[in-house]
Chain A
């Protein structure tokens, strides 16, 4: 063991320089100093290695020992991860927090608890032939079936099961199966920087429904797709992401608090356990895994945190689940990369970010997708990536936003102007886009309604017309408008308030399913038809405007309970029709 020990030669922030050996590899895990702080080799030069340390380096001294492990940074994957809060390198914060309210150094425990017992039910038996990724059996984890799979890197000469554990309670370290000579336990380890192998990638044809109207209708994200949410501070990134985490139709949600506020993680921790998953009726926390590297936690661990989250996501995807991975925010990750790069004195690229920023980002984004995992029975799983971006000064021309745009299929642009007007979610409809319309329109037409696409186009056109009319009014005033144009202006304002704005704190409005969205869109369309009819028969817009309080009426309808929702909107239109005919 003596020959893999080096000693510290230099320290600069979170980067430590140490002597090393000819066989020291890049990304090898190193324990640094007497407290055995966890680190990873990021650069090797003949006999000197630069190590990024995942814990606070205060107090390290020149000459302290470093121990090179010869292994890459890996995560122990097994039952017991759901509902947990991990730090950037996968340590369970709950168990760490029992000792002290502060993050302690040099403690290495796995998130998967060795002592917890699981009831294992085998699916295969002795004599069955197995390949990598085959489902051997299952345990129940927080209401979902957690499949125990044959390791992906399993390469035995003999691939026949020679022994299978009977039904019963086991801990994760127990052997549950022997394939030829290889023993299989209930957990597997995987290097967090390596994507898990899959069978094949599929087209994206189903939406990730968020219950947020502007997203589902105008800028839908596909299951297996990628989205970015850039926005300056105070534009509602976190509220939007938490709302997606809460309502999205994913089986598992992984939420990475990457360099953000500690209190925001606490908020999720306090609220989610008491909320219920609308689809399965289990506590929301049971489908979540939180990864918390708050802004004051070690910078290097921030760099690792997104890979850690992705590896866990891939593990659950391989069982055949739809996983959503939400990172808040990817800019902090990029800044961590920049900080480490600066400490390594690398040549800076754009805005001081290292030149490899774009390729690292690409590697992360490209781990999303809709796939058939390896192994039998054949199953289908997906990973959808949703990244918040915090551009400095709210300027979208910076490299993290631009790379994000290139790599993702949905751009949900947050707008400071809307946020100051308290228009939430403050997503700018004119700037945002989704590249998944083509794939998803078929789904919406088939599953929801044939009217979905035409209605969306109708509303979108009104918004566009309204915007250009608004610009005209600012120049020439209202007098130049025709009666119809005045109505379009009003209607686009109504769409903004009634449809695009959504109150995340109103229990009846926070989540809006597709059916309800359709009813709302339809109401707008019918409203438009009625008013245009009246205008055509000579009624003046002023008359209509002074008689009806559209905003107040529609808002009252919107905050109604789901039952009878359709009826009350229909009767509203009916009443409107009658009153309009009185005017004519």
Chain B
């Protein structure tokens, strides 16, 4: 189900919670990265909510929120403040959360969501900053009784909330918004935005209305969606449920429902009567935030070029658009590719080679793109050797491996391996040996399968440790096999 049933209108708004990549927590000096920490080891009196302690604003978290607002084309008001949001739950150490109520850091932005080449504008109502809660785990104790464990490590981690206007019309659009938002967040480096780690959590508000009826205030909030697929499925289920309800003449009941992945349904968590009255009021422990023009300008200047601009650049210089799209998923890899191009490498060759060969090595070594040990000019030099035929593709890949392993420059490695073999007499013996040992490939070749030639060439390359001149090998094999192809 991708759009409203005939005669109905679907209204969807999203709230994305994003954990920010800061060194310390939102209001204390505890490390914000608790991913591999033992429970309750990244805590202090402040994030434990002990008596008498006070919050201190993490300036970096404010900056990252403003950066997000800027890429979403938000207005950054000069005056913002923190408020107390009061609710009683055991995962909330102070029984109030420091959040932002009526004066958020960013307002009135938008994100154009593209599906199959056509873009729809989703307005962003606000982006604000708050603190995360502790984590509850419900277990069965040794005596068989239900118990809840509290891990306070997450308490006080900086959490940014992006709230859209109810401009989204389909589950697919909601998922696309989420994916695009995740891409932007990663691109500007404010969050890992990994949904499976809870660094990006998206709640959806959805309501279905008869098309001839004005859209009312009632809506259903859905939580617990841990992937874009879940987001899309939960919305589709809920739209169907509400449409059915409308068909039977039922009224929509405002409530919070949780997505249940196993059953593929949403279940009631909280009804309107159980809704919290958050009793917001200005946080008296923190002075109001004054965001100067100078600070916003300085942050704007720190923003990288956005992916669309980079993509246009690269494709206009001949890079295959599929490879460019692949490259742009990884900001660090893109930065690296641009540095390699800057160092003189051919644009299409650099993009393709980095997306395929370099990434293969990174994956094999378990390295992230921001940990590539090879200076970009060295990679440019290797690509240059490959472009002028000094090394074959196969050998270039080998050389790259060795560059990772030894840190030696490409030229030195190639030199140590000895010169490329172009001499027909040397290659001919090897080519004949390969043909003899691979009868299946030979008959495939005669059957017209081009890939068989590639395979046989590969075998020659293997035996010469990549030093054979590819053009010469190809010509020799075709000559030996009678040149049909």
The yes or no verdict on A and B being binding partners is no
Interface residues of B (CB under 8 A from A): none
